[in-house]
Structure 1
Amino acid sequence: MRVFALRTSNPAFNRYFWKQPKSYTKARMSVSGIILKAISMLCLVTVTAAYTWHLYFNGVATKWHTAIGMFVAIVCSLYISFKHNAAKYLLPIYALAKGFFLGGISAIAHQRFPNVPFQAIGVTLITFFVMFLLYRWKLIRVTRKFRAMVISATVSIFMFYFIGWVFWFLKIDIPYLWGTSWFAIGFNVVAAMVASFSLLLDFYYIDRQVGRYPKEREWLATWGLLITLVWLYVEVLRLLKKLAIRF
């Protein structure tokens, strides 16, 4: 699939995933329904993240909790991508798995740099509301050109990460990804900005689909938002850690 043929950088909002299914219910997607589901899923993330955090600071090795959580979350996302009707069943599992992953990396960050994870949470929440207001007040218009730019940047960033992970497994260091040089910090800043702009694309497509699609599609919309929020948090956490090391 061509990059510019995509409708958004988030797979949950690709046109393929929003094909109109046969439905016998009159209930339609609503903003309140998406908000309620998003809050519920974030609560599940918090539960397992707090549990992993507790284990880590009680001397329990959480390496496997973190690794398995990441693996399960990836598997759930891939399955939802191709079987989007399964979102309402797999999303809670995805949220719990992501909690293990986030709890593990956050605990490690907190041990070395106290309060950095809480700062990252604050920055993520502030960014979310700022992006929402920018979209609602139409201070940034989600045009076709804007979408193409965000999509291209997102694909490029994940390609860099994929290459970085391959080299990491081969024990080859990639300073621009894992280091604390100004270039590495700049890359992190760009990645965090792109993640922020992805929220605008998510808002745009949710806004267009509300009232048109069956209510069960709220699960798919929630999954999309959760993906972007987790990505943004991870980027902010990595950036704050690099800045803490640097300064």
Structure 2
Amino acid sequence: MKTSNPVLARLGQAAERERGAGYGTAVGYPQPGYGQQHPTAGYPGAAGYPPAGHSDAPAYPTAPPATRAMSIDDVVVKTVTLLAILAASAAAAWVLVPDTLLGPAWIGAAVVGLVIGLVISFSRMANPALVIAYAVVEGVFVGMISKFFTSVMGYEGIVLQAVVATFGVFFTMAALYRARVVRSSPKFRRIMIAVMGGLFAAMLINFVLALFGVNTGLRDGGPVAIIFSLVCIVVASLSFILNFHEIEEGVRMGLPERYSWTAAFGILVGLIWLYIEILRLLSYFQGDD
């Protein structure tokens, strides 16, 4: 199997070795060794085995595969599960965390979520527990920022609008990818990775400068902030193409089922980022109401 993604290539090779480990010795039959005659010896044919289909040929049941390959259905189920966990965590945080603790809970969840996300991203093994923990922590983050815009800023209905827009964009990108209107080429992936890295670096620098009272204009609701959010929304939308391509390649290469958690994690990250940027953009146009 060939793929342009070296990580997927290594995972695919590991998956083949795992599956191969499940097809070894025939279950329940002794293997010939020193001083032991094979149970089929004496039949005509090569190496003492009866010809295929021979009525006296013994049945040799084989062991089942050691791992099951992931499918698109696995990724869908895991994604829906993570979204349900995130929604439950967000709702609990909205109800339980008072307005006076919105800031600390918001920043704390953002930092913890970033650390867990980096661990998952740079880990070579799928870890369902970490992915679920990420969904819980990010649920707190999403709940706090949503409550801020609704309860503190007074933007009624903005959360529902952002949720509808987020899933509308996601399903649109899925339809475009399925129709092959937008495809993931090696050049496209290189450009996307570079652009996303630049955007995250800009957001991190802006956050650090904001702590010292420096306003860069990226999040103040002005023209620069609107343009920056629009760019982030476009890039976040296109990031789903990378996710869909990796899922398609992972299924084609027969990656183990547990890697569907990693694929679902990638989609969850994109959905959270897209939701936050849409929420911010909508807030810019309600600031004067």
SS class of match (1:61): helix
1:123-155 Cα deviation digits (max 9, x unpaired): 000000000000001112222332233222212
1:58-98 Cα deviation digits (max 9, x unpaired): 65633333232222212211222233425212111110000
Q: Aligned partners of 1:59 and 1:26: how far apart in 2?
A: 48
1:3-42 Cα deviation digits (max 9, x unpaired): xxxx8xxxxxx74376223524241011000110111111
| Counterpart residue number, 1:117 | 159
The RMSD of aligned alpha carbons is: 2.0
| Counterpart residue number, 1:11 | none
Alignment of 1:8-23 (within 5 A): 15-16=6-7, 19-20=10-11, 21=14, 22-23=17-18
Q: Aligned partners of 1:186 and 1:239: how far apart in 2?
A: 9
Q: Aligned partners of 1:55 and 1:242: how far apart in 2?
A: 27
**Shift of residue 107, structure 1, vs aligned partner:** 0.4
Q: Which segment drifts farther, 237-246 or 31-40?
A: 237-246
Runs of 5+ in structure 1 lacking a partner?
1-6, 8-13
Seq. identity, %: 29
- Is residue 180–residue 246 contact of structure 1 (8 Å, CA) maintained in 2? no
Alignment of 1:157-176 (within 5 A): 157-175=199-217
Structure 1: 4+ residue segments shifted above 3 A: 14-18
Amino acid at match of 2:211: F
| Counterpart residue number, 1:185 | 226
Runs of 5+ in structure 2 lacking a partner?
20-65
Q: Which segment drifts farther, 64-73 or 42-51?
A: 64-73
| Counterpart residue number, 1:10 | none
| Counterpart residue number, 2:176 | 134
- Is residue 192–residue 232 contact of structure 1 (8 Å, CA) maintained in 2? yes
Confirm whether residue 233 of structure 1 aligns to residue 271 of structure 2. Answer: no
Q: Aligned partners of 1:224 and 1:93: how far apart in 2?
A: 14
1:131-183 Cα deviation digits (max 9, x unpaired): 000000111222233223322221221121121112112221111x1112112
Question: With CA pairs under 8 Å and 6+ residues apart, which has the higher RCO, 1 or 2?
Answer: 1
82 and 148 in structure 1: CA distance in 2 versus 1, 3 angstrom threshold: closer
Q: TM-score, normalised by structure 1?
A: 0.87
Alignment of 1:1-247 (within 5 A): 15-16=6-7, 19-20=10-11, 21=14, 22-24=17-19, 25-56=66-97, 61-111=101-151, 112=153, 113-175=155-217, 177-211=218-252, 212-245=254-287
117 and 84 in structure 1: CA distance in 2 versus 1, 3 angstrom threshold: farther
- Structure with the largest fraction of helix: 1
Q: How many residues align?
A: 233
**Shift of residue 219, structure 1, vs aligned partner:** 1.1
Q: TM-score, normalised by structure 2?
A: 0.75
Q: Aligned partners of 2:67 and 2:132: how far apart in 1?
A: 25
* Rg comparison, structure with higher value: 2
SS class of match (1:23): helix
Amino acid at match of 2:272: V
- Is residue 8–residue 250 contact of structure 2 (8 Å, CA) maintained in 1? no
Q: Aligned partners of 1:18 and 1:38: how far apart in 2?
A: 23
